[in-house]
Structure 1
Amino acid sequence: GYHTAMVGKWQGRDLAVKRGFNRFFGPNCQGMISYWHPVVQNDFYLDDKPWKFTDDFFMTDAFNDHAVTFLKESVAGKKPFFLYVAYVAPHWPLHAREETIAPYRERYRKQGWNDWRANRIERQQKMGLLPDGTKPAPYPGNVPDWAKDKHKDWQAERMAVYAAQISNVDRGVGRMLEVLKESGQLDDTLILFLSDNGAAPNGGFSPSNNGFGFSPNSPNNAWRKDKVAIRPGSGPKLMPGPHDTFAGYGLAWALTSNTPLRSTKSSSYEGGIRTPLIAHWPKVIKKGNGLTRQPGHVIDVMATCLDLADRKYPTEFRNRRPLPMEGKSLAPILRGEKRAGHEALAWKNARGRALMMGDWKIVRPVDKLPWELYDLSSDPGETANLAKRHPDRVKNMDAHYQTWRQRVGAR
């Protein structure tokens, strides 16, 4: 069998070591988390034992260190191995070390979200990510013009901290790649890097003295276990990043992160559900820096791993009967082949419902609104609603959605 390890955010009734992993480090995350200190509802564990925080703790660094340790154990053994690393970053709160933030500060002071979005669209067009003739989603009308913003240094700091969070992840991934390279196993190890959803819009457009459950009229000291109070809100006099702050980077930067897609996390527009998947496996993936437009879903990761490990999905596990597997292996795509994909993929989120069949997609924010219809092959930004032109297609796709919703119990 495989030697298995999991590092990072775990959300379950029991720990990862009770679900098939040999090693585990991270929090059993049941609430808002801090990158700096222990907080309520987020106890950390090493395997199945409570883990004591160190004085120099920073969550992403701790994830990186344990992932490297577990990986070194794996490559030194004789078994094939599986490592799952679930970073919290760059999820709010905006926490990062000053030395990690500093390299990005002037970059975002010199250019705001309007310019960065234009730069990203131009680069995506050159890379082929945004094909010729396709339309990016426009900024919604409530996003202010960067040139008119009165608090540019604060706005820039929010994005700089966010960038710092990502760079910390990047360093950790680089350390893991070095372990594989030094062991001679890099070329024959499949690495998948993906995100679970689009960027989160939390944080507002303007400075505030409250947010995320913290306010000037509350003691704000019940969250951290050391009882240190959180300074509520965020603005020019309270920049994000330090341990006693709690902030998000707001809708304008979230939409910039999601360029060229529409909307954000918890929506069923593409900006909420469409994320990149990067695969590295030189022994199998012969064409480097390639791009495939064959759609996949997170449910396909399980099917892919079982396919490549030549294992069958269990019908019983520790006196439980797992739900049948619905994913399909991505292995044919990795080999440069065309796979038989899903007939339909569906979503039901807090701010949206959607179903995709081929290039066509129906979507609506809530059940009481009519379906919108988009052709994603020419309109990835979901700018032209074609529902009135193709009522029969909408009706057919709605039938598929209702069947799926009833089958999986999506209320």
Structure 2
Amino acid sequence: MQRFVASTLALLLAIALVTKAAVAQEATAARPNIILILVDDMGFSDLGCYGSEIPTPHIDSLAAGGIRFSQFYNTGRCCPTRTSLLTGLYSHQAGIGHMTDNQGVPSYQGYLNDRCITLGNLLQSAGYFTAHTGKWHVGSGNLARLPLQRGFDRFYGVPEGGGFYMQPRRGRNVYEGNDVIYSADKLPPADWYSTDAWTDYGLRYIDEAIAAKKPYFLYLAHNAPHFPLQASPADIARFRGKYRAGWDALRQSRHAKQKEMIPALSKTELTARDATIDAWDALDEKQKEELDLRYALYVAVMARLDDSVGRLIAGLKERKTFDNTLILYCSDNGASDEGGLYGKFGTGEPGTADSDVFIGRAWAGLSNTPFRYYKKNSHEGGISTPLIAHWPAGIQARGEWRRQVGHVIDFMPTLAEVAGATYPTQHNERMIQPMEGQSFAHTFAKEEAHPRTLFWEHEGHAAIRAPEWKLVRAGAQGKWELYRAADSRTEINDVASEHPEVVKQLTTEWQAWAKRVGAKPFAGTPMELPGKKKGKGKAKAKSVAE
């Protein structure tokens, strides 16, 4: 009898263990692979699925097979956005309130501090194989600041930032792991192109994850379409002559598409052309020819980016992981007005490894349609980004829009939820700060708005978006402007003078936030603000050739 009881108990224990293992295996299998694609300096309207004439069929296919967000935000600049995206904190809290320069205070030390974790740390702890390819730009110059020491199993990319597509320039190095493999003194092969390389290595790392039988997290951070714009002659030739219609007509065209396509923008007014920019029709033929070439270069870079997304999709399908992979796509800030009012060619033949092409403010205004202002600003043109979420096994909606207000700080809680990961209170025996973001995983099933308040500060540009209002200023010297958040996304009708009590309340909230996160007052000199000319009739057509 005792032998029978012992045998029965042993059998029951074995069944329980097998069942537990099967349940654990099923739970692991149900967790999605995750690919987070971040692009650089892409405007809100630069995708076909957000109103553009730029051909982006592969990215558009993700939108058609998933969901798009119409009110998702970044921080307005590359380093702070990457910091917030990776840590789930406002960038000042993680040590990168500005860029990677150390300003001598903790919130502006210029690299990730030890009171935060990254998405790599979070997902690594949940059993994921974690890889990063592309632009890091949240700390360099010390191995402790590089991706392998911040939660990633594999790294192939540039710690110091972007600034090239074909050959590294001084101060930029391509790393594999902790080792420099390409530099200004050790050039890559002649056919090397960053957009392709980041994708190719991403697929290589996915193969490693599959071999290890682990779910994977790939943080794929492109430097495209950031200046200096470089592309092959064949890619540029595809788009020469297609932008002779000019920014005025194309802004109108994109806005008309957006009003039909994006429910949240169906009643928006298009902002006026920036007052510093001449009407397209006022330019002569030579100027139009130069400007067409500059934007054709930008579009060529965008098209190559879309091609790389197509190769990524094909690679996932070939590996049979596409259906259970959550792909997220967004930009680090709005289009940049750097390079002068009308952009510049700089040195070298346009598009080559030696060239230094910028699109400038005029074309950036097109890219940021229907909004105003640019990269660095806290107005909608600086901080609004497309967000596409695609996951066939987990998102049943196809081609739907979501109005949920979101921010890059939301990636941490969202990925924790879908991956079944637990955000810790300590890391490496140090207390870390709690997440600032909110998960948007609920939007994968249905439209369901969760009201919230968000904050911005960069170089004195600042904003607070509350459920009903947005308060924003252009530069530390700028006056606070007030807009109704829901129906004034293009920030045309400033009602600050009509609601001084709201301005006072939101200013108080913003100041309390700034003190809490360590956003010190910007100490720079007053900046020339977009939309204000220094003199009468200045910045005319001759500026086109800058």
TM-score range, shorter-chain basis?
Answer: 0.7 to 0.9
- Do 1:71 and 1:176's aligned partners in 2 also have CA atoms closer than 8 Å? no
Question: Normalized against structure 2, the TM-score is what?
Answer: 0.67
Q: Which has the larger radius of gyration?
A: 2
Paired residue for 1:399? 508
User: Which letter maps to 2:507?
Assistant: D
Tell me how far apart the structure 2 counterparts of residues 250 and 80 of structure 1 sit (CA, whole Å).
42
Question: Normalized against structure 1, the TM-score is what?
Answer: 0.88
User: How far did residue 132 of structure 1 move?
Assistant: 3.6
Paired residue for 2:135? 9
- Do 1:95 and 1:242's aligned partners in 2 also have CA atoms closer than 8 Å? yes
Tell me how far apart the structure 1 counterparts of residues 343 and 156 of structure 2 sit (CA, whole Å).
36
- Do 1:371 and 1:387's aligned partners in 2 also have CA atoms closer than 8 Å? yes
Q: How has the CA–CA distance of structure 1 residues 337 and 187 changed in structure 2, closer, same or farther, with 3 Å as cutoff? A: same
Paired residue for 2:405? 295
Paired residue for 2:192? 57
User: Which letter maps to 2:215?
Assistant: P
* Matched position secondary structure for 1:119: helix
Paired residue for 2:251? 117
Over residues 176-216 of structure 1, what are the superposed CA-to-partner deviations in whole Å (9 max), with x where a residue is unaligned?
11122223322221110000110001122357686xxxxxx
The equivalences for 1:161-172 within 5 A come to 161-172=297-308
Paired residue for 2:354? 244
Over residues 258-287 of structure 1, what are the superposed CA-to-partner deviations in whole Å (9 max), with x where a residue is unaligned?
000111100110000111111101222222
Paired residue for 1:134? 268
- Do 1:121 and 1:130's aligned partners in 2 also have CA atoms closer than 8 Å? no
- Do 2:397 and 2:444's aligned partners in 1 also have CA atoms closer than 8 Å? no
Determine which of 184, 194, 213 is the counterpart of 2:320.
184
* Matched position secondary structure for 1:395: helix
* Matched position secondary structure for 2:339: coil
User: How far did residue 303 of structure 1 move?
Assistant: 1.2
2:152 maps to 1:21? yes
Over residues 61-116 of structure 1, what are the superposed CA-to-partner deviations in whole Å (9 max), with x where a residue is unaligned?
2112212222233344411110000000101101111111111112113x211111
- Do 1:200 and 1:265's aligned partners in 2 also have CA atoms closer than 8 Å? yes
Q: Point out where structure 2 has 5 or more consecutive residues left out of the alignment.
A: 1-126, 183-187, 521-546
Determine which of 374, 381, 388 is the counterpart of 1:278.
388
User: How far did residue 341 of structure 1 move?
Assistant: 4.5
8-17 or 257-266: bigger deviation: 8-17
Q: How has the CA–CA distance of structure 1 residues 402 and 207 changed in structure 2, closer, same or farther, with 3 Å as cutoff? A: closer
Structure having the larger proportion of residues in helix: 2
Determine which of 458, 469, 480 is the counterpart of 1:360.
469
- Do 2:342 and 2:361's aligned partners in 1 also have CA atoms closer than 8 Å? no
Identity score, percent:
38
2:204 maps to 1:95? no
User: How far did residue 339 of structure 1 move?
Assistant: 5.2
User: Which letter maps to 2:167?
Assistant: H
Tell me how far apart the structure 2 counterparts of residues 124 and 339 of structure 1 sit (CA, whole Å).
21
- Do 2:397 and 2:445's aligned partners in 1 also have CA atoms closer than 8 Å? no
Over residues 135-174 of structure 1, what are the superposed CA-to-partner deviations in whole Å (9 max), with x where a residue is unaligned?
1211122211112223111101111111111111111111
* Matched position secondary structure for 1:340: coil
The equivalences for 1:223-262 within 5 A come to 231=347, 240-262=350-372
User: Which letter maps to 2:464?
Assistant: L
Tell me how far apart the structure 1 counterparts of residues 233 and 504 of structure 2 sit (CA, whole Å).
54
Paired residue for 1:157? 293
- Do 2:456 and 2:464's aligned partners in 1 also have CA atoms closer than 8 Å? yes
Q: How many residues align?
A: 382
* Matched position secondary structure for 2:489: coil
- Do 1:332 and 1:339's aligned partners in 2 also have CA atoms closer than 8 Å? no
User: How far did residue 368 of structure 1 move?
Assistant: 4.0
2:251 maps to 1:146? no
- Do 2:259 and 2:268's aligned partners in 1 also have CA atoms closer than 8 Å? no
* Matched position secondary structure for 1:194: strand
Paired residue for 1:69? 204
Tell me how far apart the structure 1 counterparts of residues 149 and 159 of structure 2 sit (CA, whole Å).
12
394-403 or 134-143: bigger deviation: 134-143
2:330 maps to 1:194? yes
User: How far did residue 376 of structure 1 move?
Assistant: 3.0
Q: Point out where structure 1 has 5 or more consecutive residues left out of the alignment.
A: 211-230, 232-237
User: How far did residue 351 of structure 1 move?
Assistant: 5.5
* Matched position secondary structure for 1:284: coil
Paired residue for 1:35? 165
User: Which letter maps to 2:502?
Assistant: R
Tell me how far apart the structure 1 counterparts of residues 135 and 362 of structure 2 sit (CA, whole Å).
27
User: How far did residue 319 of structure 1 move?
Assistant: 4.7
The equivalences for 1:303-318 within 5 A come to 303-318=413-428
Q: How has the CA–CA distance of structure 1 residues 346 and 243 changed in structure 2, closer, same or farther, with 3 Å as cutoff? A: same
Q: How has the CA–CA distance of structure 1 residues 131 and 207 changed in structure 2, closer, same or farther, with 3 Å as cutoff? A: closer
- Do 1:5 and 1:83's aligned partners in 2 also have CA atoms closer than 8 Å? yes
The equivalences for 1:260-271 within 5 A come to 260-271=370-381
Tell me how far apart the structure 2 counterparts of residues 287 and 277 of structure 1 sit (CA, whole Å).
15
2:174 maps to 1:44? yes
* Higher RCO by CA contacts (8 Å cutoff, separation 6 or greater): 2
Tell me how far apart the structure 1 counterparts of residues 424 and 173 of structure 2 sit (CA, whole Å).
30
Q: How has the CA–CA distance of structure 1 residues 208 and 328 changed in structure 2, closer, same or farther, with 3 Å as cutoff? A: closer
* Matched position secondary structure for 2:378: coil
- Do 1:75 and 1:180's aligned partners in 2 also have CA atoms closer than 8 Å? no
- Do 1:135 and 1:378's aligned partners in 2 also have CA atoms closer than 8 Å? no
Tell me how far apart the structure 1 counterparts of residues 478 and 239 of structure 2 sit (CA, whole Å).
42
Tell me how far apart the structure 1 counterparts of residues 464 and 150 of structure 2 sit (CA, whole Å).
31
- Do 1:268 and 1:351's aligned partners in 2 also have CA atoms closer than 8 Å? no
User: Which letter maps to 1:29?
Assistant: E
* Matched position secondary structure for 1:107: coil
* Matched position secondary structure for 2:389: strand
User: How far did residue 369 of structure 1 move?
Assistant: 3.5
Q: How has the CA–CA distance of structure 1 residues 409 and 156 changed in structure 2, closer, same or farther, with 3 Å as cutoff? A: same
Q: CA RMSD in A?
A: 1.9
